[in-house]
Chain A
Amino acid sequence: TAGITQAPTSQILAAGRSMTLRCTQDMRHNAMYWYRQDLGLGLRLIHYSNTAGTTGKGEVPDGYSVSRANTDDFPLTLASAVPSQTSVYFCASSSGTGESGELFFGEGSRLTVL
């Protein structure tokens, strides 16, 4: 079972360049999320989508954009990367609220901005 697939697994990017991190899920979950994880700061929510066609801002949305054209895909775009965006990015999905709010995570994308 695939679950959530993220690509690329890792990437080195020059500052100022754009980058799209891809995320696809095959569980037909309504909600999808992007988190970044940094040492000492934990997982922080960047953007989320409660259902296809809608998106919302999380705790640290600046410098990032998302789209949700369909249920399965939730790409995260960095329009002009900066070194502070060096992080591990996790895509996640959930089927609903309450106990259904359990998040299923992808394996992560490690991004280094130089």
Chain B
Amino acid sequence: GQNIDQPTEMTATEGAIVQINCTYQTSGFNGLFWYQQHAGEAPTFLSYNVLDGLEEKGRFSSFLSRSKGYSYLLLKELQMKDSASYLCAVIDSGYALNFGKGTSLLVTP
């Protein structure tokens, strides 16, 4: 089975930095994804980690520690448009992604 945990809600200020954590316990591990989902829209891909360490993509970075079953998504220079849900997902032993329940991020002025 799988268990993927992330905070339900977070609030941060425009221009600030926010870190969204994700912990997982899965029967296998073939990679971890982060997706962004705006209200009423489909999820869109943000990042992929399969090896330990930090992957940086512009304002967004994602970190993975396989031994700890832990990842985080770091968002820098927050903008109002970053208000969205952020979904952590793990591929265990097959093809399919198993998703956490998502973290709703509100960016305030």
Do B95 and A42 touch across chains, with their CB atoms under 8 A apart? no
Task: Check if B30 is an interface residue, CB within 8 A of chain A.
Answer: yes
Task: Check if A101 is an interface residue, CB within 8 A of chain B.
Answer: yes
Interface positions, chain B 35-55, Cβ under 8 Å from A, are 35, 41-45, 48, 50
Q: Give chain A's interface secondary structure class.
A: mixed
Give the size category of B's interface with A: 20 to 34
Which of B30, B87, B100 interacts with A98 by CB under 8 Å?
Answer: B30
Closest chain A residue to B43 by CB distance? A105
With the chains together, A35 CA to B56 CA distance in Å? 29
With the chains together, A98 CA to B57 CA distance in Å? 18
Which residues of chain B have a CB within 8 Å of any CB of chain A? 30-31, 33, 35, 41-45, 48, 50, 87, 89, 91, 94-102
Task: Pick the 5 closest A-B CB pairs, nearest first.
Answer: A42-B101, A105-B42, A43-B99, A99-B48, A31-B95
Which residues of chain A have a CB within 8 Å of any CB of chain B? 31, 33, 35, 40-45, 48, 50, 58-59, 90, 94, 96-99, 101-108
Beyond contacts A31-B96, A48-B95, A101-B33: 18 other A-B pairs, Cβ-Cβ < 8 A, are A33-B97, A35-B99, A42-B101, A42-B102, A43-B89, A45-B98, A90-B42, A90-B43, A97-B30, A98-B50, A101-B97, A103-B33, A103-B35, A103-B43, A103-B89, A104-B45, A106-B42, A107-B42
